[in-house]
């Protein structure tokens, strides 16, 4: 299965919501779940869990110093909201030693 968006049948509406559906083995292999939106991706839950264990405190300064991302991006990842694809790719490059 792929990551996709549910779309209404009417012409003038925007996509309703993102749908996350991928097998666990595929998610673990990827680290990033791409969406149909070209500039958005999800960071896998297992990646967020591993990274959170390396975070001393949940402050803007600590998140930036540890992972090189903003606290807003970190909060999106924890909530399962997609982030910019370029940010997700750079993050995984930076934190590969934690995984």
2 near 19, Cβ under 8 Å?
A: no
Give 91's contacts (C-beta < 8 A, 6+ positions apart): 43, 67, 68, 69
Per-residue pLDDT tens over the stretch 30-71:
688 888 888 999 999 999 999 999 999 999 999 999 999 999
Domain ranges of the chain: 14-98
The C-alpha atoms of residue 29 and residue 64 are separated, in whole angstroms, by: 26
Average pLDDT, the chain: 77
φ, ψ for residue 63 (rounded to 5)?
-65, -45
Percent of the chain's residues with pLDDT above 90: 57
């Amino acid at each position: 299965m792929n990551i996709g968006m549910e779309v209404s049948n009417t012409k003038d509406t925007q996509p309703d919501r993102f749908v996350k559906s991928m097998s666990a083995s595929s998610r673990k292999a990827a680290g990033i779940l791409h969406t149909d939106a070209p500039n958005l991706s999800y960071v896998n839950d297992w990646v967020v869990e591993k990274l959170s264990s390396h975070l001393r405190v949940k402050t803007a300064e600590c998140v930036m110093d540890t992972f090189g991302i903003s606290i807003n991006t970190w909060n999106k990842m924890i909530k399962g909201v997609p982030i910019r694809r370029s940010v997700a790719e750079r993050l995984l490059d930076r934190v590969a030693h934690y995984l």
